[in-house]
Structure 1
Amino acid sequence: MKVIRDAIHGDIVLDEFALRIVDTPEFQRLRRITQLGLAYLAYPSARHTRFEHSLGTFWLAKKIAENNRDTVEGAVAYAALLHDLGHYPFSHTLEALYGSHEENTRRALKEGEIRDVIGERYSLKEFLSLLKHPIVSGDIDADRMDYLVRDAYYTGVAYGLVDLDRLIRNLRYDGEKLIIGQKGIMAAQSLLLARSMMYPTVYQHHVSRIASAMLIKAVELERIREKEVATMDEVDLIARLRGSERDEVRELVKAIDDRRLYKRIVYTNEEFKNVEELKKALEDEFNHLAILDYPPKPKFEEKNAFVEGGQRLSNVSPLVRSLVELKDTHWRWGVYAREDVREEVRQFVMDFLG
């Protein structure tokens, strides 16, 4: 057994099996994967990693499981510990190029030392199925309980106050889904409220969006294969880009290093249909000097959580309904350009949009 002191949850206790998982090279790699990618360019203290988030998710999942001993198998907490194993460098940033980290997590669990450790207790098939368990990946799960509170703490914003203990005490697993008890509704509401506030202020902050778009463009131009980037950490990736044979790749990564980011030419929440056409037109005219960033809209899955009595959270909470209705108001897409060509790009986009 080992006790780890965590800034969010206090003492996190790892049993011998959890400790063996944590000590594998695959899990230790998460120390070098930042939780919020390039958000530290806007929030300098946001340097926390997937490593401590995974420990926190494990701890919360274990608490939920202990409160539901009759219906939850113990392996769920270990699945929660490993739910982010496959994250690419800078977390979600590179999923725009390589797809979901979840599939890479499944691949990572099938290879290397981590597979041997898991195999001592569980079949790989059994363990992989638990990655989709509602406690690990559901409408109200241990993952988002940890990251919302943790991200708020490390960015310093005042939106992560959630009564996790009360919420956990009032979560019941019926064998198929997690159900929020009546006494846990307020805590569940605060979780969704925290996410709705974190979305525009942190997760979609324009500085983070611009830097991420520049990094994606650099990796795209460098043509790194998915199999290679899947095992990289952020030190590996940045070293590769800094040493690139392509001038434009080195230029982009140096601009990120020096925080000389591209400027916003378009930044709007008006939907646009011809995304691929505009992207290609910008690439043909300006190469890497202008970038289109069109992120997916937020989903806010928490609204679908079941409440005691068989209804969804959005049906019993007017606050949740309002937050869901407002969720698209903070969504933005943008065109960004290097400062010396911003006026040319602005005119080009205006002509394109007619």
Structure 2
Amino acid sequence: MKSLLSRYIVTSDPVYGYIKIYDHEVSILESEAFQRLRRIKHLGVTDYAYPGATYTTFLHSIGTAHIVENMVREVLVKADVSYDDIERYVVLLRLILLLHDVGYGPYTYVFEEAILEPRQLTHEGMGARIAEEFSEISVGIEKALRDYGYTYKHVIQAINSRNIDNWPFRSQINSEINEKVLFHFFKGAFSANTIDRVLRDSYYTGAIRSVIDWRKLLYYTLPYEDGVVFDSRATDILEQILITKMRLLLHVYYDSEVRSTSIFCRNVLKKLDQEKLIDFDAIVRDVYRYLTLDDYTIFSIENVRYVKEVKSFTYGRNPYVACIEYYVPREKYFKTDIDINEIKRIVVERIRDCGTEIDVDSDLFIDVLNHLMKLIFKEREYEISTRYGDGSIVKTKIYDFLPTLFNCKVVAFRVYVKRTLSDKVCNMRYKIISSIDNEIGVY
């Protein structure tokens, strides 16, 4: 069988230099569904605070394919996997990573939270449907994988895998390892997806100026049982990735302008949904209609573009501003859940006590970092297996790393209000914080 990896084109990438696109992938990349990803900013509305954060899901997808190819080659060769098998897994994993985010809607995570999640849907599930129902993609997958014994259904199931129990590939690769190891290249704390996000988010936002030697991490990663183990000489890179991810969380993803714009955009989408200005129920049932939505088209629909909130969002007129930040000691941060409703009650009462009327539903909202932390670190229970020079292997949960990555105090939540109320609320911020301490003692 002629190698599928012998013919390719080379394209430039600002993060990796040069990356390959193989001939058998071109028909998939040129499909309408994949080209749509050029019109979806992967960081959603982050560019409202970080103007450089405009890279697309298209770019992220080919970046993760590049990373996963290097992972497969570097890690599997250490287990004496044959060249033919390595090639097979390179072809397979690249297709999975290319398509893993093809189901994102406009503004990525904002659309998912506002439209997909209330309907018990995910972008992975939408992506699996697109890969199945869009013939340009399913036929392209079939042609690439038929000689390896896989079908497009294997790729669909892999895209939908939320954990290793759902991973469709479980056969023995050789006497040492099985195909479950491939899941850790796809998802997890140090997966291809995570590494590309950390590198690309840092580069395009300009917020984190650190160089992560991801290739060194691959050199010191070995297949082990159903997963991977890291040589202790790679500990510095593991820590660097976690630290960078945490810095991105605190300074980019939880930036006050990013969060307020995200929530404003979410509220606009919910308004369009509730008032049936866009029939999202019909759209999510029909992948062809779903593919017509991107960052540019969704707010350009005839009966939508003149809605007051849509115009405000389009012209960057975010009505909310952060007035209160509530800090807590680092060591107590992970031990208590925050009652948003109780905090909102106290804030509203103190504002009204000062003679200012406020609408609970539209004039303010509370944003909790702990909630965002759980979304960003979904793999917080993921175990890092580290092998030391004496042959011993020590397992550590990522969750145990997190407290050491924070400063001495952490923002537990923020209170945002309409800009028209910001001066009055800011003037009473210390009174409100004191009331929260006295009445509920969050920590």
Query: TM tier, shorter chain?
Result: 0.7 to 0.9
Q: Residues 54-84 of structure 1, C-alpha deviation per residue, up to 9 Å, x if partnerless?
A: 1111001001111215276230122111111
Task: Report whether the alignment pairs 1:126 with 2:154.
Answer: yes
Task: Report whether the alignment pairs 1:334 with 2:334.
Answer: no
Label 1:269 to 1:128 Cα distance change in 2 as closer, same or farther (>3 A): farther
Task: Report whether the alignment pairs 1:250 with 2:333.
Answer: no
Task: Report whether the alignment pairs 1:210 with 2:260.
Answer: yes
The 5 A counterparts of 1:255-266 are 257-266=315-324
Partner of 1:228: 283
For 2:141, give the aligned amino acid. Answer: I
CA distance in 2, matches of 1:87, 1:226: 16
Partner of 2:131: 109
For 1:293, give the aligned amino acid. Answer: D
2:338 to 253, 259, 272: 272
Label 1:322 to 1:306 Cα distance change in 2 as closer, same or farther (>3 A): closer
Task: Report whether the alignment pairs 1:154 with 2:229.
Answer: no
Q: Residues 269-306 of structure 1, C-alpha deviation per residue, up to 9 Å, x if partnerless?
A: 56531449959x99x93554434434624254376222
The 5 A counterparts of 1:278-293 are 278=344, 285=359, 287-293=361-367
Give how far 1:144 is off.
Answer: 0.9
Give how far 1:323 is off.
Answer: 3.8
Q: Is the 8 A contact 1:20 1:117 kept in 2?
A: yes
Give how far 1:307 is off.
Answer: 2.1
Label 1:50 to 1:332 Cα distance change in 2 as closer, same or farther (>3 A): farther
Partner of 1:7: 14
Give how far 1:178 is off.
Answer: 2.3
CA distance in 1, matches of 2:326, 2:282: 35
Q: Is the 8 A contact 2:326 2:413 kept in 1?
A: yes
2:98 to 73, 76, 81: 81
Q: Is the 8 A contact 2:305 2:311 kept in 1?
A: no
Partner of 2:69: 62
Identity of aligned residues (%): 21
CA distance in 1, matches of 2:10, 2:272: 42
Label 1:251 to 1:278 Cα distance change in 2 as closer, same or farther (>3 A): farther
1:306 to 374, 380, 385: 385
Aligned to 1:59, the other structure's residue is in SS state helix
Structure 1, gaps ≥5 residues long: none
For 2:414, give the aligned amino acid. Answer: G
Aligned to 1:44, the other structure's residue is in SS state coil
Give how far 1:24 is off.
Answer: 1.3
For 2:326, give the aligned amino acid. Answer: T
Give how far 1:226 is off.
Answer: 5.4
TM-score, with structure 2 as normaliser:
0.68
For 1:123, give the aligned amino acid. Answer: T
Structure 2, gaps ≥5 residues long: 1-7, 162-182, 285-289, 329-336, 349-357
CA distance in 1, matches of 2:155, 2:11: 25
CA distance in 2, matches of 1:336, 1:344: 13
For 1:191, give the aligned amino acid. Answer: I
Aligned length: 345
Task: Report whether the alignment pairs 1:50 with 2:108.
Answer: no
Partner of 2:331: none
Aligned to 2:33, the other structure's residue is in SS state helix
CA distance in 1, matches of 2:255, 2:97: 28
For 2:46, give the aligned amino acid. Answer: A
CA distance in 1, matches of 2:372, 2:304: 35
TM-score, with structure 1 as normaliser:
0.84
CA distance in 2, matches of 1:44, 1:190: 25
Give how far 1:227 is off.
Answer: 5.6
CA distance in 2, matches of 1:332, 1:12: 40
What is the RMSD of the two structures over their aligned residues, measured on CA atoms?
A: 3.4
Label 1:37 to 1:226 Cα distance change in 2 as closer, same or farther (>3 A): farther
Partner of 2:179: none
Aligned to 1:110, the other structure's residue is in SS state helix
Q: Is the 8 A contact 1:4 1:13 kept in 2?
A: yes
* 69-78 or 201-210, larger mean C-alpha shift: 69-78
CA distance in 1, matches of 2:261, 2:98: 29
For 1:312, give the aligned amino acid. Answer: K
Query: Which structure has the bigger radius of gyration?
Result: 2
Q: Is the 8 A contact 2:367 2:414 kept in 1?
A: yes
Q: Is the 8 A contact 1:58 1:78 kept in 2?
A: yes
